[in-house]
Amino acid sequence: MEAYLDNAATTCCYEEVKDLMVRTMMVDYGNPSAMHMKGVEAERYCKEATQTLAKLMKVQESEIYFTSGGTESNNWALLGTALANRRQGNHIITTAIEHSAVSAPLAFLEEQGCKVTKLGVDGEGRISMEELEKAITDDTILVSVMYVNNEIGSVQDIAAIGELIKRKNRNTSFHVDATQAFGKYRILPRKMGIDLMSASAHKFHGPKGAGFLYIGEKTKVHPMIMGGGQQRGMRSGTDNVPGVAGLSKAAEITYRNLEQNQAHLFDLKQHLTEELRKLPDVVIHGMPVEEGAPHIVNASFLGVRSEVLLHTLEERQIYVSAGSACSSHRRAGSATLTAIGCNQAERESALRFSFSERTTLDEVNYTLEVLKEVLPALRRYTRH
């Protein structure tokens, strides 16, 4: 039996997505910028994709920009906002548990003279609204908060944060990294006070190398990739027709069964956490099951190093992710686990299990069986 429990890293493509993408590469392969029929045909895919996404999120078509994925969307949102608002202020607020696609560009902006405030989180990975309120000043141009944390699945109250920001400073933009959330929740950016939102296709059964950034019409962002003026001059480069078409098809299918899938994921999560709690020396991180994201479980198996357990499971065709790739030479523990107050023993033994709609209860049970079998043996051999 194979159990792929690393869906937060990437997911398998939908069959329909693959078929559509093949068609855009083999039949309707024109350049959307071309004037002839071949170009018009190709352009139709992008138009339809924009319409699809706009409907799903209840936003305007002109507010959607396609990118190469989550990393580019995040970089563009942060750097582009900083560039466009240099005169308004230079203060940006973020959290201590962001993905590096947010924290790295912010570190760069800090080098360039921006002030960055990192909000801490509590033991479950939640930011404090009081702290956020205190942090927002007249100088604050942007608040960037991830919707679902990729490591422990903690969820922020995005609507409340959006409302708070607008109440405190109407000119502050709100960026949400929704890479792990899009397709898991029905997100309505306008209703939630979101000005910028990043997403990535391969997290919801679309292709790798495709994503989008929602930019609210009143939000000032400078383009980062300049050239031929595609996408209203905001993001140049020949339209990635296969990627864009694949992304929108994947979004459409994901949204079709969103509620059922969500319930299914919560069932799996509930079951796995319940069973893990019965095992000795297991610590489960993040929020209570129903408050956290439906598809992510993070647990430490004290006394067994993440990497060793990961490879042991891999030998039985079970694929999971280690809290962070760490080695005997470089103890670069996960920033998220540190932020929620994990000690070194917990950080070194953390594994992430993440599901998709395709994950079955049998796969989870098989994983639990194998865990029960291998943990005692692995714990016999630990470093001294």
Partner 1 sequence: MFKAFLIKYAEIGIKGKNRYLFEEALVNQIRYSLEKVEGTFRVIREQGRIYVFTEGYFDYEETVQALKCVFGISGICPVVVVEDKGFEDLADQVVAYVKHMYPEFNKTFKVHARRAKKTYPMNSMELNCELGGRILDECPGMKVDVHQPEIHLTVEVRQKIYIYSETIPGPGGMPVGTNGSAMLLLSGGIDSPVAGYMIAKRGVKLEAVYFHAPPYTSERAKQKVVDLARLVARYSGPVRLHVVNFTDIQLYIYEKCPHDELTIIMRRYMMKIAEQFAGEDGASALITGESIGQVASQTMQSLACTNEVCKMPVFRPLIGFDKQEIVDIALKINTYETSILPYEDCCTIFVAKHPVTKPNLNIIKRSEQNLQEKIDEMIQTAIDTAETIEIVY
> Which one of 19, 110, 281, 314 is in contact with partner 1 (CB under 8 A)?
314
CB 61 within 8 Å of CB 51: yes
Report if residue 325 touches partner 1, rule: CB under 8 A.
yes
Helices (H), the chain: 15-26, 37-57, 70-84, 100-111, 129-135, 158-168, 189-192, 241-256, 258-278, 306-315, 335-339, 344-348, 361-380
Using CB under 8 A as the binding rule, whether residue 232 contacts partner 1 is answered as: no
Q: For partner 1, which stretch binds (CB under 8 A), given 67-75, 294-302, 328-336, 358-366? A: 328-336
| CB nearer partner 1, residue 238 or residue 317 | 317
Q: At what angle do helices 70-84 and 100-111 cross, to 10 degrees?
A: 30
Q: Out of 307, 346, 348, 363, which residue is the one contacting partner 1 (CB under 8 A)?
A: 307
Instruction: Tell me: does residue 312 bind partner 1 (CB under 8 A).
Output: yes
* CB closer to partner 1 out of 12 and 332: 332
Restricted to residues 143-182, the positions that interact with partner 1 (CB under 8 A) are none
Tell whether residue 98 is a contact of partner 1 (CB under 8 A). no
d(CA 156, CA 338): 18
Does 310 participate in binding partner 1 (rule CB under 8 A)?
yes
Compute the distance between CA of residue 353 and CA of residue 364 in angstroms, rounded to an integer: 10
Task: Please report how close the Cβ of residue 326 comes to partner 1 at its closest, in angstroms.
Answer: 8
Among 311, 317, 361, 373, binds partner 1 (CB under 8 A): 311
Distance between start and end Cα atoms, the chain: 35
Q: Is 383 an interacting residue with respect to partner 1 (CB under 8 A)?
A: yes
Note whether 321 and 6 are within 8 A (CB). Answer: yes
Beta carbons within 8 Å of 29's beta carbon, 6+ residues apart:
38, 42, 241
Compute the least distance from the CB of residue 381 to partner 1, in Å. Answer: 6
Positions marked catalytic: 326
Minimum Å distance from CB 71 to partner 1? 22
Q: How far is the CB of 287 from partner 1 (least distance, A)?
A: 30
How much is the CA Rg of the chain, to the nearest whole Å?
A: 21
User: Does the CA dihedral 95-100-102-105 come out positive or negative?
Assistant: positive
Residue ranges in 30-59 that form contacts with partner 1 under rule CB under 8 A: none
In angstroms, give the least distance from the CB of 11 to partner 1: 22
Binding residues for partner 1, how many (CB under 8 A)? 17
| Region from 62-70, 151-159, 229-237, 306-314 binding partner 1, contact rule CB under 8 A | 306-314
47 vs 311 by CB, closer to partner 1: 311
Question: 3-class SS at 3?
Answer: strand
Q: How far apart are CA 283 and CA 300, in angstroms?
A: 5
**Sole window of 6-14, 62-70, 295-303, 309-317 interacting with partner 1 (rule: CB under 8 A):** 309-317
Q: Is 330 in the site for partner 1 (CB under 8 A)?
A: yes
The HSE-up count of residue 246 (CA atoms within 13 Å, CB side) is 32
Minimum separation from the CB atom of position 24 to partner 1 (A)? 34
**By CB under 8 A, which span of 70-78, 98-106, 178-186, 375-383 interacts with partner 1?**
375-383
Residue 34: what are its φ and ψ, rounded to 5°?
Answer: -75, 155
Of 185 and 366, nearer to partner 1 (C-beta) is: 366
DSSP codes, 9-36? T--PPPHHHHHHHHHHHHTS---TT-SS
Neighbours of 318 (CB within 10 A): 21
Question: CA torsion sign, 356 to 358 to 363 to 365?
Answer: positive
* Min dist. Cβ of residue 12 to partner 1 (A): 21
Task: Give contact residues for partner 1 (rule: CB under 8 A).
Answer: 307-312, 314-315, 325, 327-330, 380-381, 383-384
